[in-house]
Amino acid sequence: MSRRPFRNNVKTVLTNQDLKCLQLSENNSKSHFSKHLNNPTGSCKVCGGEKTFDINTKKQEAFVGHHVSYYPQMIAFVHYDCHKKIHDLENPISELIRYKEGDSKKYYDLRNRYYETNGAAAA
């Protein structure tokens, strides 16, 4: 299923500085250029709970990386359900949303362009 129909058809203006920032974060270790608000193996930034265990798969469920901001890149690791609470339309958790409208589209467009030009598959 393509994600294209869900995106706004808005032109993104990309500057050389945006591309430099993305190249630095992709060429070097992500932890060096992106700030993590908590440890991906620790506890959820929203509820403080530990990772959950799926009885069916008998595996621990990984946290979701939530972009608190894109420029500079800041990520919080949270449960999937807690991530939905962050973006709740009626009562969002605004202290974990520090980006402007359009930043996510700009970031992912830059990332995809970087992967296309360098012949690597997008993560």
pLDDT digits (tens, 9 = 90+) for 66-106: 999 999 999 999 999 999 999 999 999 999 999 999 999 99
Q: In the prediction, which pLDDT does 66 show?
A: 95
Give the strand order in the sheet containing 74-78: 35-36, 74-78, 64-69
- 89 part of a folded domain: yes
The residue type found at 72 is P
- 71 part of a folded domain: yes
- 46 part of a folded domain: yes
Q: In the prediction, which pLDDT does 103 show?
A: 94
Q: In the prediction, which pLDDT does 123 show?
A: 57
Question: Beta partners for 67?
Answer: 75
- 1 part of a folded domain: no
- 24 part of a folded domain: no
Please answer whether residues 111 and 122 qualify as being in contact, where contact means their C-beta atoms are separated by less than 8 angstroms.
Answer: yes
The residue type found at 2 is S
Gap between the Cα atoms of 8 and 123, Å rounded: 22
pLDDT tens-digit series, residues 32-70: 446 888 888 889 999 999 998 888 988 889 999 999 999
Q: In the prediction, which pLDDT does 106 show?
A: 94
Contacts 24+ apart (CB under 8 A), 92-97: 93/46, 96/45, 96/46, 96/66, 96/68, 97/68
- 101 part of a folded domain: yes
> Exposed e or buried b for every residue in 84-122, given b needs 16+ CB within 10 A?
eebeeeeeebeebeebeeeeeebbbbbeeebeeeeeeee
Q: In the prediction, which pLDDT does 39 show?
A: 86
Q: How many domains does the chain have?
A: 1
Domain extent, residue 83, equals: 33-107
- 52 part of a folded domain: yes
- 7 part of a folded domain: no
